[in-house]
């Protein structure tokens, strides 16, 4: 081969390296390549089939091009060339694409299936998630920024948005669905294995679009029932001196105007429900942990941590008050 052909070979190498990377990068709790839900698993198979097919086709077309321009640039038969247009341009793709459609179109149905089981209503806010579990008696248990699902059962998610369009997406469990003000969209998920998966808003929704995530916890059905029963309870009373003072600071600063802590006088509906905030896995819609310093830092620096967020930074609070608030909120398990 002449010097001139190496780049095309290099290209092939790059593509192969890509495939290798693809198989090595199945890590991460927010990855399509690490599927744990039934729909995500089916889509993963579909994706692999298509990737291999695409790679083969790319190599064929590229190889043909290299052949006619470099390896054998002499004149070839005109009939062959015309045959290439008819065969390669029409017959082959018609069959291939038709087959792909027949294979893929029915795969749409599962995530849209009507569920027998649990229904969860999720409303996207700027930039957090309001999550309401529908109980069999029609009542609702309100939570925020975290979704818990029973393993092995299909849960229906009824999606809505308050001010602007968002999109709900847990890559490890299935595809995404937009959340649109004034419309209801629907998506169902069926986790196959217990675990914690990260989800994130996928439709651009303003300044802090990048900072709108949540954790999804798939639990054994019995554990889930127990958790839901606990979640339906009112908030625990503050334990210890710090936490008690924290509850006073919470009331004094008017936090209850926006947040609800069930069983107290805080009944605000503007911000996330905090009744069991201490038992959640993240704070600020998936951007911080739930240790005491996280609470203190979040309350004091909301506007830095999440640009244009509605909650003002409480950086005027003395450190003592922040510690106390952190103790109170952390104790709301």
Partner 1 sequence: MTRITENEDAREFRSEAGSLWRITFGPLIWAVHFAASYGATALICAKGGTGFVEGLRLGIGIGTGVALVAIAWLGWQSWRQWDLLRDRDWENDQGTGEDRHQFLGHAAFLLAVISFIGVSYVALPVLLIGTCR
Partner 2 sequence: MTRPAPLPVAEGTYPPTEDMLNEPVTSEEQDRGKAELRAAWKTPQGWRYISAVNNTEVGVWYALTAFGFMLLAGLLALAMRVQLAFPGNTFLDADRFNQFFTMHGSAMMFLFAVPMFEAISILLLPAFLGARDMPFPRLSAYGYWCFLIGGCFVMGSLLFDAGPKAGWFMYPPLATKEEGVGPDIWLLGLSFIEVASIAAAVELIVGALKCRPPGMRVNIMPLYAWYVTVVGGMILFAFPPLIAGDFLFELQRSFDWPFFDPERGGDPILWQHLFWIFGHPEVYIVFLPSIAIAAMIVPTVARRPIVGYSWIVLSAVGTGFLSFGLWVHHMFTTGLPQMSLGFFSAASEAVVIPTGIQLFAFIATLMVGRVKMTLPMLWIAGALAIFVAGGLTGVMLAIVPFNWQAHDTYFIVAHLHYTLFGGMVFPVIAGVYYFYPFFAKKLLSERLGRWAFWLIFTGFNVTFLPMHLTGLMGMPRRVFTYPESAGWGTLNLISTLGAFVIAAGFAVFVYDMLRPKSRQGQIPRNPWGAGTLEFAHDIPEEAWGVRSVPYITSRYPLWDQTDLVARMDAGRYYLADAPDHQRETIITSVIDAKPIYVQRVTGPAWITIWAAIFTGGAFIFPTFHIYKPAIVCGAFAVVCVMYWLWTSTARPPKDEMRAAGLGLRLPNYVSGPDAVGWWGMWITMLGDATAFASIVFGFFFYWTARPDFPPVDAGHAVGTWVAAAAVLGVLAWAATLLAREVNRRGKVMLARLALVIAPLSAAAAGGAAWLAVRDLDPVSHVYPAILWALMVWLTVHLCAGIIMQCYCLAGCIFGKVTPRHDADLRNVTLYWHFVALKVVVTTALLGLVPGWLP
Q: Lay out the site mask for partner 1 across 147-186 (x = CB under 8 A, - = otherwise).
A: ---------------------------------------x
Residue 263's alpha-carbon distances to 165, 190, 237, 256, 294, in angstroms, are 33, 33, 9, 12, 24
Residue 183's alpha-carbon distances to 159, 178, 180, in angstroms, are 8, 10, 5
- Kindly tell me which of 218 and 287 has the beta carbon lying closer to partner 2: 287
CA-based nearest residue to 295, from 314, 322, 313, 271 = 322
- Kindly tell me which of 80 and 105 has the beta carbon lying closer to partner 1: 105
User: What tokens appear for 192 in the block?
Assistant: 């196959």
CA 272 to CA 131: how far, in whole Å? 9
Total length of the chain: 333
CB of 63 to partner 2, least distance (A): 11
> Which H or E run includes 148?
strand 146-150
CB of 106 to partner 1, least distance (A): 6
| 114 is an interface residue for partner 1 by CB under 8 A | yes
54: partner contacted, choices partner 1, partner 2, none (Cβ within 5-8 A by kind)? partner 2
- Residue 154 has phi, psi (to 5 degrees) of -85, 125
297: partner contacted, choices partner 2, partner 1, none (Cβ within 5-8 A by kind)? none
Cβ-based neighbour number of residue 215 at 10 Å? 19
32: partner contacted, choices partner 1, partner 2, none (Cβ within 5-8 A by kind)? partner 2
- Kindly tell me which of 184 and 241 has the beta carbon lying closer to partner 2: 184
CB of 316 to partner 2, least distance (A): 23
- Kindly tell me which of 85 and 222 has the beta carbon lying closer to partner 1: 85
Q: Lay out the site mask for partner 1 across 94-113 (x = CB under 8 A, - = otherwise).
A: x--xx--xx--xx-xx--xx
User: What tokens appear for 243 in the block?
Assistant: 């936490």
Cβ-based neighbour number of residue 222 at 10 Å? 9
CB of 53 to partner 2, least distance (A): 8
CA 40 to CA 44: how far, in whole Å? 6
102: partner contacted, choices partner 2, partner 1, none (Cβ within 5-8 A by kind)? partner 1
- Kindly tell me which of 166 and 259 has the beta carbon lying closer to partner 2: 166
202: partner contacted, choices partner 1, partner 2, none (Cβ within 5-8 A by kind)? partner 2
Residue 312's alpha-carbon distances to 4, 86, 126, in angstroms, are 62, 65, 14
- Kindly tell me which of 61 and 230 has the beta carbon lying closer to partner 2: 61
CA-based nearest residue to 128, from 171, 164, 87, 89 = 164
- Kindly tell me which of 45 and 113 has the beta carbon lying closer to partner 1: 113
Binding site for partner 1 (CB under 8 A): 82, 90, 94, 97-98, 101-102, 105-106, 108-109, 112-114, 186
């Amino acid at each position: 081969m002449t010097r001139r052909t190496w780049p095309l070979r290099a290209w092939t190498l790059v593509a192969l390296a890509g495939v290798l990377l693809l198989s090595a990068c199945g890590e991460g709790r927010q990855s399509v390549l690490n599927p744990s839900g039934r729909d995500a698993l089916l889509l993963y198979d579909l994706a692999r089939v298509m990737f291999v097919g695409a790679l083969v086709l790319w190599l064929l077309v590229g190889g043909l091009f290299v052949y006619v321009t470099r390896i054998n640039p002499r004149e070839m038969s005109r009939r062959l060339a015309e045959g290439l247009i008819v065969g390669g341009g029409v017959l082959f793709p018609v069959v291939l694409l038709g087959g792909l459609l027949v294979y893929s179109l029915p795969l749409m149905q599962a995530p849209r299936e009507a569920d027998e089981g649990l229904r969860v209503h999720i409303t996207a806010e700027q930039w957090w998630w309001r999550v309401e579990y529908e109980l069999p008696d029609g009542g609702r248990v309100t939570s925020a920024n975290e979704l818990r699902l029973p393993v092995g059962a299909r849960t229906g998610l009824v999606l809505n948005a308050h001010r602007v369009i968002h999109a709900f997406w847990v890559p490890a469990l299935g595809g995404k669905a937009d959340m649109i003000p004034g419309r209801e969209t629907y998506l169902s998920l069926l986790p196959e294995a217990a675990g914690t998966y990260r989800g994130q808003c996928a439709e651009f929704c303003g300044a802090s679009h990048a900072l709108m995530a949540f954790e999804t916890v798939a639990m054994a059905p019995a554990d889930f029932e127990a958790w839901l029963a606990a979640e339906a309870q009112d908030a625990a009373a503050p334990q210890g001196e710090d936490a008690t003072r924290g509850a006073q600071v919470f009331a004094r600063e008017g936090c209850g105007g926006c947040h609800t802590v069930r069983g107290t006088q805080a009944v605000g509906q503007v911000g996330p429900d905090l009744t069991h905030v201490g038992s959640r896995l993240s704070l600020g819609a998936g951007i911080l942990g739930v240790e005491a310093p996280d609470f203190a830092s979040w309350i004091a620096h909301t506007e830095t941590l999440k640009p244009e967020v509605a909650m003002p930074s409480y950086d005027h609070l003395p450190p003592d008050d922040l510690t106390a608030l952190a103790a109170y909120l952390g104790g709301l398990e």
